[in-house]
Amino acid sequence: MNYDLSIIIPLYNEEESLPELCTWIHEVCSQKGYSYEVIMINDGSTDNSWQVIQNLATQFPVKGIKFQRNYGKSAALNEGFKAAQGKVVITMDADLQDSPDEIPGLYEMIVTEGYDLVSGWKQKRFDNKLTKNIPSKLFNAVTRGMSGIQLNDFNCGLKAYRKKVIKSIEVFGEMHRYIPVLAKWAGFRKIGERVVQHRARKYGTTKFGWERFVNGFLDLLTIQFISKFGKRPMHFFGLIGSLMFLVGFFSVAVLIVSKFASVDYGLTNKPLFYIALSTMIMGTQFFLAGYMGELITRNAAERNVYLIDEKIGL
């Protein structure tokens, strides 16, 4: 069945907030006349979240996916994306800090204004300024600079997507923070932003610590590398290796010439000789790494998988 909306909610130990959240979503969607489904992904909760989801499924159009253990938000979103059938997909957190009242505005930006992806921007936040707000601003600034996507809040869980977007990307590791980057990499360019309400947490405690910013930065480097060199590793490793080898080779050549020009100073007595030798060895290793990566890539089953936008007459 095709719905107007699929609302994907990953959760971990949020049993108190789920009934209120589902009731609120139902009220908003009913007022707007949306046909919708709510897909809740229970990411290994140790409380009664799954029992609550089962109960809600008898009252609302709620579907549930239960993980055997905690795999993380990216895995939960990826499974939700696979299951979603709505023409517009909205993701939101289960802790009631994302307001369902924002759903119509996000929906209209996708349907009416033609955006591929719209990210929420929690301009006014109720989090701890020192431990969350300041690191978040730094994180977003770095991500903007490296990705070229002008969003103010990459980490906001409240986002809306055209169905085609979420069916074209795979979210893994801790990549949920960079779904706009993955979407851009997949060829979706119309990415927008909408200021959304941020509400103070009503139940429980946050499930994320400061380490998410460190992990997030490392994940950004991974995405940047894969997007540019995932299918052609020799262009990265081979270039660096060749440059290092040439620098080392010419340095040794200069030392050999200087050896013949100055018989009083031994070739191996100069520190530059060992630096040049190490550079040549490292350059060779980089080149071989690129060569091996190229062999693996060219023999991979998915080496020629491309995203096709449309077909005519086929």
Q: Do both 68 and 42 map to the same domain?
A: yes
Q: Do both 146 and 248 map to the same domain?
A: no
In a domain, 26, yes or no: yes
- Structural domains of the chain, count: 2
- Supply the pLDDT for residue 206: 61
In a domain, 314, yes or no: no
Q: Do both 195 and 256 map to the same domain?
A: no
User: Which residue do the tokens 């690191």 mark?
Assistant: 135
Three-state DSSP class for residue 18: helix
Structural domain range at position 103: 3-229
Q: DSSP code of 236?
A: I
Q: Do both 285 and 217 map to the same domain?
A: no
- Supply the pLDDT for residue 231: 66
Q: Report the DSSP beta bridge partners of residue 198.
A: 98
- The confidence band for 311, taking pLDDT boundaries of 50, 70 and 90, is very low
Last-in-domain residue among 186, 204, 229 = 229
Q: In what order do the strands lie in the sheet with 159-162?
A: 62-66, 36-42, 3-11, 86-91, 159-162, 117-121, 191-195
In a domain, 303, yes or no: no
Asked whether residue 239 carries a pLDDT value surpassing 70, the answer given is yes
For residue 123, give Cα distances in angstroms to 112, 151, 203, 256: 24, 12, 22, 63
- Supply the pLDDT for residue 313: 37
> Average pLDDT for residues 234-242, to the nearest whole number?
83
Q: Which residues contact 203 (CB under 8 A, 6 or more apart)?
A: 14, 16, 17, 95, 96
Count the residues in the chain.
314
> Average pLDDT for residues 64-84, to the nearest whole number?
91
In a domain, 150, yes or no: yes
> Average pLDDT for residues 278-303, to the nearest whole number?
75
- The confidence band for 20, taking pLDDT boundaries of 50, 70 and 90, is very high
Neighbours of 267 (CB within 10 A): 14
Q: Which of 8-22, 138-152, 187-201 has the lowest mean pLDDT?
A: 138-152
Q: Is the pTM of this model over 0.75?
A: no
Written as six digits, the tokens of 40 are: 């809740």
For 157-186, what is each residue's pLDDT tens digit?
Answer: 899 999 999 999 888 777 888 899 889 888
For 87-112, what is each residue's pLDDT tens digit?
Answer: 999 999 998 989 999 999 999 999 99
**Are 159 and 87 in contact, with CB atoms under 8 Å apart?**
no
Q: Based on DSSP, count helices (H) and strands (E) in the chain, helices before strands.
A: 10, 7
